[in-house]
Structures are given as structure tokens and as C-alpha cells.
Chain A
Amino acid sequence: MDDTALTASALSDGEQTGILTLERVDDVDEVLRSTAFRQGAHQGSLEFFGGTVLMLDGDPHFERRRIESSLFSRSSLITMEHRVLGPSIDRTLAETQRRYGSALFNLVEFTRTVLLRIAAALSGIDSPADDDSVERLAAYIHDMIDAAEADWRYGDSAALAIANGIQARKGFVDEFFRPSVERRRAMLRAPADVGRTAGSGSGASDLLRELMAAGGMTEDAMLREVALYIDGAIKTTSQSVPHAFGHIEEWCASHPEDAKTDPEFLRKALAESLRLHGTVPSLLRICTEDILLASGVEIRSGQRVSLDFRSANLDPGIFGADAASFNPHRVPRPPHKPWGLTFGTGPHTCIGRLVVTGIPGVTEGSGTMMLRRLFEAGARTVPDQPPVRETQTGHDRYTRFAIQLG
């Protein structure tokens, strides 16, 4: 039975006893770290993410993370930042300056363009050279990401998004995925790869290559994993950078002692913005054994538990009475992190977190680097072009965030 069937059968065995919602950050944190729960979210997007590292638990989850771990080694992160992220930002900025000059452009689209190149490099999707093909890749990915958010879409938009996503995925497979698989199949047959094992930490691999070297996955299973990585690489940061940009600009207008181009200030500001504007409003877990949380909450086996990240990240007991306000110098009560629970904790901590936040003293992080380069280029909002919020999902994000360069 492949991993997709494993995930589906595990979900159907869970008792549906109503949903218990947890809002206190300590309760949510404890559930995330506990081995007494299994994944229960993303049921609307099983078509896309079933059987992926996101949905697995126990030993299969461990094995999948082990295979993929070399992609996030220290040397891989350094390589990615220097060889992919930096050049991608430079190229996208240059293209933006050529195309728009000092006119307005959409920061949401800008970040998605930057991140598309990172997503492709990380996942092993060979990027085309011509602009038309790049646009088609971006369009396929846009629809696939929309479909993957079915759990949080309002009304009829979920069914339409899934239908569009399935259609887009067909084009993505034919034009980009399958050729990338074939190239890697040829690379792995080449003499240099004889004896090479997966997870060698070489710092110069990609997801497809690692999965194929490890073996044991169908092409469909690898496609889902690639789709997950692309979704993760693009969605989080393209959502968080515009929020952070707006907060930083407003904060620095009244705090001239903080410099918009100081990487350490930006790292803290991005973390605070991530706390306020997490990537998903909530996630579901299913309890697998009776448990008593440290707070006294009793949870029975089979109980579905909704982890309210939005409320947890605003917990005044951890983040202070002004938790709903932006303060880049906020120090949460230890051991809680400045970004709250936005990246999760425990075994399912976001595998790509360090790509976004960086490692202090080692890498800058995709969000921080993008913000610094934009502010260095004189980027700013204009008063008569306020941001436009997304209205079709429960996500806290913009569809348009207009800025201009200096």
C-alpha cells in the first residue's frame, strides 16, 4: 500500500466526535510536540498532498524527512542563498526596474516571481529559459496552490479551485515534471552517481533527485511531494513579505533609530510580522490516546482538535498585553519564539523554516533578504494605493500590495 492509501485509511478510522478548539499557545504547543496526535488537516487537499511528508505520521514521516533532510543542511542553505535566492532577487528587481521604472507594481507578484525560481531549484523542476514557458509554469503553480488551500476556501470556491488545480497539474506534469524526472533518471544512471546514497549532505541536490536516489516512490507520489514543496516555498513568504513591508515602513516612520536596511532589525521585524500574520488560521489534529494537557484540558482518543494558531500567536500571557500590535523588539516569554507557532513545533515543525528565517550568523533568510534588497532599492508604498485583501479564503494575506521603487 503506498503512502497515499495509508494516509486515507488512517483518517477514516478516526472517530468524529466534534471538534475541540485550543487557543492558548501553551496548549497548542503541547499538542504539536506530543506523539499522541496524528495529522487531521488538509482533508480538502488530499488529492494534492495525500501521502506527502506533511500528512504522514510515525515511522513513514521520519523516513521521508530523513531522505529530504540534506536539502536543508547548513551547506545546502548557504548554497541556496548564494546561488539561487540572491541572483533571483537581483534578476527580478532588475526586470521590475526595467518594466516599471518608478511606476507602481504588485509586491505579491514580485515575491512570487522570486520564489518561483527557488521553488523550482529546491524541488527539482528544471526552469525554462523563455518568458512564455516561465509564465505557463507560474500559471500552473498558481492554480495548484489555490487548489491546495481547499480546506480554507469559502463557499463554492473550493470545488472550482480543485477542478482548476487538477487541470493545471496535468499541464505541469507534461511540460515540466515529467521532463525533469527523465533528466534526473539519466543523471542517476551516469557513472558519477554509482554508489551515491540519498541524504549525503552534498549541498547540491534537489528534492526529485533525492527521492529518486532513495527509491520506493511512484511518480505520482513524487509529484505530490514536489507540489507540496512548491506550495511551501512560495505561499508562506509571498504572504508574509507584503505584511512585513507595511509594518516596517510604518514602524520606521516613527522610530528613526531602526534602519529598514539593517538585516538584524529586518530579521526581528519579519519574525514579529510572521507572528501576527501566520500562514494558516488553524490546523486539525486527531488524538490517538487519552491525554491530559499541562493546563488541565482532557482530550480523549479519537477527539478532533483544532489548533487555533491565530489566537495562540496573540496570547497575552506570552506576548504581552499589546500582543495584537506590531513591535519588532518584542521578547516573548521563553521558550516561545518571536514568530510564535507560525512554523509549528515538534515533529511537524516546518521543514523549510530555515529557508525563510535564516540561521543567525550563517544565512539571511529569503524573507529578510527580499525586504532588505527592496528597501535598498528605495521601495515604498503610496498613500492612495492601499493594499487589497484576499477574500476567498480564511488566509490573512493580500492579493495586491502596490509599491514603487526609488
Chain B
Amino acid sequence: MESDRSDQAGIRLVRERCESAGWCSRVAPAYFGRDAEGLALLLRSTIDEADESDVQTAADMCPTGSIELSRDPQRG
């Protein structure tokens, strides 16, 4: 499985680490979904300011470290 990554950084999802805890899609459904096998999907990688707290919580709740956040949207 390849990582999901956009040129507009904010969120990077390392899918090969995902173990289907399912918290990300529950906490930040605009940013994370799940495929048919329950693995996380990255729906959008740039983070709106109003959603920063929820996306941070999604990253914190991931027990496998699959969600990486970049605070500088200019960095790849």
C-alpha cells in the first residue's frame, strides 16, 4: 500500500501502518474515510483552521502513527 500524499501538505497518511482502529474517520470525517477493508483513506490533505483541533485529535488517536501532520502548508 502506498502513502497518500498531496503536493499541498497538511496531512500525510501512511496507509501501510493502518490497522483499522477507525478513529480518524469518526473524529474528522471530512478528512478521513475508510475503504471496504476498514483501512483509512485520506479525503483531503489541507486543513481548514476551524478543523485543526479535530485533525490533531485524529492524529493523536491513531494508535499506529499513520497520520503525520505538517504545520507549514508550504512544505511538502
Are A199 and B57 closer than 8 Å at their CB atoms? Answer: yes
Cβ–Cβ contact A351 & B63, under 8 A: yes
Question: Do A359 and B65 touch across chains, with their CB atoms under 8 A apart?
Answer: yes
Cβ of A66 within 8 Å of any chain B Cβ, yes or no, is yes
Q: Shortest Cβ distance from A337 into chain B, in angstroms?
A: 7
Let me know if A62 is at the binding interface, CB within 8 A.
yes
Instruction: Tell me whether B26 and A62 are in contact (CB under 8 A).
Output: yes
Q: Contact: B63 with A334, CB < 8 Å?
A: no
Which residues of B have CB within 8 Å of A33? Answer: 19-20, 38
Interface string of B1-27 (1 = CB under 8 A from A): 100000000000000100111110011
Find out whether the CB atom of B61 lies under 8 angstroms from the CB atom of A69.
yes
Q: Bound state CA distance, A70 and B22, in angstroms?
A: 17
CA distance A250 to B33 in the complex (A): 45
Asked whether, in the complex, the Cβ of B60 is within 8 Å of the Cβ of A72, the reply is: yes
B positions within 8 Å CB-CB of A = 1, 16, 19-23, 26-27, 38-39, 56-57, 59-61, 63-65, 68-69
12 more CB-based (< 8 A) A-B contacts, given A66-B27, A334-B16: A33-B38, A69-B57, A69-B60, A73-B56, A74-B59, A201-B56, A201-B57, A201-B60, A347-B21, A347-B23, A349-B19, A354-B63
Q: Could you give 21 example pairs across A and B, Cβ below 8 Å? A: A33-B38, A62-B23, A62-B26, A65-B23, A69-B60, A69-B61, A73-B59, A74-B69, A201-B60, A334-B1, A335-B16, A335-B39, A337-B19, A343-B63, A346-B20, A346-B21, A346-B38, A347-B21, A347-B22, A354-B64, A359-B65
The 9 closest A-B CB pairs, nearest first, are: A69-B60, A69-B61, A349-B63, A73-B60, A345-B19, A359-B65, A33-B20, A201-B56, A349-B21
